[in-house]
Chains A and B, each alone.
Chain A
Amino acid sequence: MSTTFVSRRSFLKVSALAGGGFMLGFHAIGKAMDNTLAEDVFVPNAFIKIDATGIVTLMAPNPEVGQGVKTALPMLVAEELNVNWNTVVVEQAPLNTKLYERQVAGGSGSIRSSWESFRKAGAAARQLLTEAAAKTWNVNVADCYSENSFIIHKPSGKKLGYGELASKAATLTPPVEVTLKDPKEYTIIGQRIRNVDTKSIVTGKALYGIDTKREGMLYAMVARPVFGKKLKSVDDSGARAVQGVKNVVRWENRIAVLATSTWAAKKGRDALKLEWEDDTKPESTRDHQEAFKKLIQQKHDAPKRNDGDAEKAITGATKVLESTFEAPFLPHASMEPMNFFADVRDGKAILFGPTQTPARTRTEVAKVLKIAEENVEVGMSRQGGGFGRRLQADYSVEAAMISSLAQAPVNVIWTREDDMEGGFYRPTGMYRYRAAINEKNELDAWYLIAAAGNQPNATRENSFPAGAVPNFRVDSHNLESNISIGPWRAPNHNFIAFTEETFIDEIATALKKDPVAFRLELLDRAKNNKFGTVAYDIEKYRGVIKLAAEMGNWGEQGKNGIYKGFGAHFSFGAYVAQVADVSVSGGKVRVHKVYCAVDCGRVINPSGAENQIEGGIIDGIGHALFGELTFEKGVAQQKNFNSYRLIRMPDAPLEIETRFIQSDASPQGLGEPCLPPVIPAVTNAIFAATGQRVKRLPVSLMTFL
Chain B
Amino acid sequence: MKSFRIILIGSSAGGLQAIMQILPELSKEYPIPIILVQHRAKEPKDLLEEVLQHKTKLKVKQADEKEKILPGHIYVAPPDYHLLIEQNETFSLSSDEPVQYSRPSIDVLFESAASVYGASLLAIILTGANQDGTQGLKAIKSKNGYTISQNPKEATFQLMPESAIASNTIDKVLNLNEIKQFLINLSNHV
Co-assembled chains A and B:
no
Please report B residues at the A interface, Cβ cutoff 8 Å: none
